[in-house]
Amino acid sequence: MHLGIVIPTFNERENVQTITARIADALRGRDLTYEIWFIDDSRDDTPQVLEALSAAHPEVHYVHRKDARGLATAVVEGFARTSAEYLVVMDADLQHPPELLPVIAERLAEGIDIVIPSRFVPGGSDGGLNTFRKLVSWTARTMGRVAIRRLRHISDCTGGYFGLRRSVLAGADLSPIGWKILMEILVKGRYQTVHEVPYQFVDRDAGESKMSLREQWNYVRHIVRLVWSSPEDRRFYLFCFVGGLGMVVNLAVMSLMMYVFHLREVPSSVIASLVAMAHNFLWNDNMTWKGHAHPVKWRRALQIPMFMLISGVSLAITALFVKGFVWLHWSPLAGQLIGIIVATLWSYTANNRWTWKA
């Protein structure tokens, strides 16, 4: 097995030598060869240190990017430089223990596509972060896992330590902004199996963290972009958007019926709901599930009644929640809100399966 280890560096002059030695120690006597690629954007004399290091160690290579910055793009550059079949990405500051490399290599050799050292499985810890960073990190991770389906089962999707086989990247158009290259790969890559192994994220060996407010903002932008580039996630948000629009239409039509056409409340409400349903169907058919119309004619004809049936069940679900909340002496409005959320999840799943067959 030949391992390509990619290490992004920004002003890490005190660390590059130590990590090279620790990697050598960790992999000594193992049945594998390796190369290290430092992708460096430093503004200090790290490139000179790397030059000396690569002259002394044939397995060490480096690229210095003069005007570029960015952890994630540095990693992509590293993937392009090495031709190794198996890849590992890690930080230079020894917060990612090189002693885990043999475990990662072993799992990859067994055929696991992506191996992620995780701070959040039993045996792992994020001790190297202060309380504030832990909170920020938790928030970021939760946002990612709620917004993007493919991240939902990964406990540590925001870390910078992972291994993968190159085939995962085949056909993936990686265009990350900011730091989270692993998330980019998890969303766009082609893979079957992901394994997480515990590790302890310890304090930095030397130098300081380059995490900044700007990178946190980049992270939010990155999530939005990933949602947009992943059809299954995008569809869900479009569906919610159409639902919200439908609510506005519903209320507008109801007002029209009552105040302009002087209809009674109940018929106004029924007409408003029917118009909103038709409105939602049209948008979903032409936008949310564009290109997913049933090819068989009679099934196509059933799409509208199917959509209405599912909407009817949603209505019942919401009403049931209100009833339950009232029974428990809780706020009926809270019941309505929870009901709407559950009904949205239900109707999305049901429409996805039966109305449009995505």
Binding-site ranges for Mn ion (CB under 5 A): 91, 93, 95
Pick between residue 95 and residue 288 the one whose CB is nearest to Mn ion: 95
CA distance linking residue 117 with residue 199, whole number of Å:
6
Smallest gap from residue 56 Cβ to ligand GDD (A): 20
Stretch of 8-16, 273-281, 322-330, 342-350 lying at the interface with ligand GDD (CB under 6 A):
8-16
Which residues, including other chains, have CB under 8 Å from residue 225's CB and lie 6 or more apart?
177
Is 41 one of the binding residues for ligand GDD (CB under 6 A)? Answer: yes
Smallest gap from residue 4 Cβ to Mn ion (A): 21
Pick between residue 42 and residue 347 the one whose CB is nearest to Mn ion: 42
CA distance linking residue 176 with residue 164, whole number of Å:
17
CB count within 10 Å of CB 330 equals 13
Pick between residue 211 and residue 302 the one whose CB is nearest to ligand GDD: 211
Among 5, 16, 71, 105, binds ligand GDD (CB under 6 A): 71
User: Which partner, ligand GDD, Mn ion, none, binds residue 62 by CB below 5 to 8 Å per kind?
Assistant: none
Q: Is 146 exposed, middle or buried (0-12, 13-18, 19+ CB in 10 A)?
A: exposed
Q: What b/e string do you get for 3-25 counting C-beta neighbours within 10 Å, with b at 16 or more?
A: bbbbbbbbbbbebbbbbbebbee
CA distance linking residue 295 with residue 124, whole number of Å:
50
Q: Is 69 exposed, middle or buried (0-12, 13-18, 19+ CB in 10 A)?
A: exposed
Pick between residue 6 and residue 277 the one whose CB is nearest to ligand GDD: 6
Pick between residue 65 and residue 299 the one whose CB is nearest to ligand GDD: 65
Is 116 one of the binding residues for ligand GDD (CB under 6 A)? Answer: no
User: Which partner, ligand GDD, Mn ion, none, binds residue 179 by CB below 5 to 8 Å per kind?
Assistant: ligand GDD
Residues that bind ligand GDD (CB under 6 A): 8-10, 12, 39-41, 69-71, 74, 91-93, 95, 158-161, 179, 201, 209-211
